[in-house]
Amino acid sequence: MSYELDTKKLATMVRAQRANRPLREVADEIGDVSASTLHRLEVGKCPDMAVFLRICSWLNVKPEQFFSHSDPTQTVQQIGQHYSQGQIINLVRSDSALSPVVANVLSAIITAAYEIDRT
């Protein structure tokens, strides 16, 4: 079983709490968080644990509400219910452990699998 941080949910809550206030003002309010870190978080980047915990305190929410877990025995169809084809391909292409050639091959395989599934 693996756990994932729902960065989209976190980003949505941060943007809502910040409203129209400047990033720097909110970063100062949170404490020990830079405006650039806050911006990265708002666009869905994963924060480090210390920043994540500060953000949760600022939001006045429990950290566990942002975690989800997945079962490695899930079928491709079950995974597809949670992620779109484009999201899966973006994850593959953004994985720094994969060379661009391997990422492109995997992306082609994923695309072919979705095309077969549609027929």
Crossing angle for the helix pair 35-42 and 7-18, to the nearest 10 degrees: 120
Residues 6+ apart with CB under 8 A from 33: 27, 51, 54, 55
pTM score above 0.75:
no
Residue 44 region, left (φ>0) first, then alpha (ψ -120 to 50), else beta? left
Q: Which CATH number fits domain 2-67: 1.10.3720.10, 3.40.50.2000, 1.10.760.10, 1.10.260.40?
A: 1.10.260.40
4: phi then psi, degrees, rounded to nearest 5: -130, 145
Task: Return the top range by mean pLDDT from 10-14, 67-71, 111-115.
Answer: 10-14
From 29-38, 63-72, 108-117, the region with the lowest mean pLDDT: 63-72
How confident is the model over 34-56, as a mean pLDDT?
96
Tokens standing for 111?
A: 């695309």
In this predicted structure, what is the pLDDT of residue 118? 73
3-state secondary structure of 34: coil
The per-residue pLDDT for range 70-110, each reduced to its tens digit, is 666 655 556 556 678 888 888 888 888 889 899 899 999 99
In the chain, where are the structural domains located? 2-67, 74-118
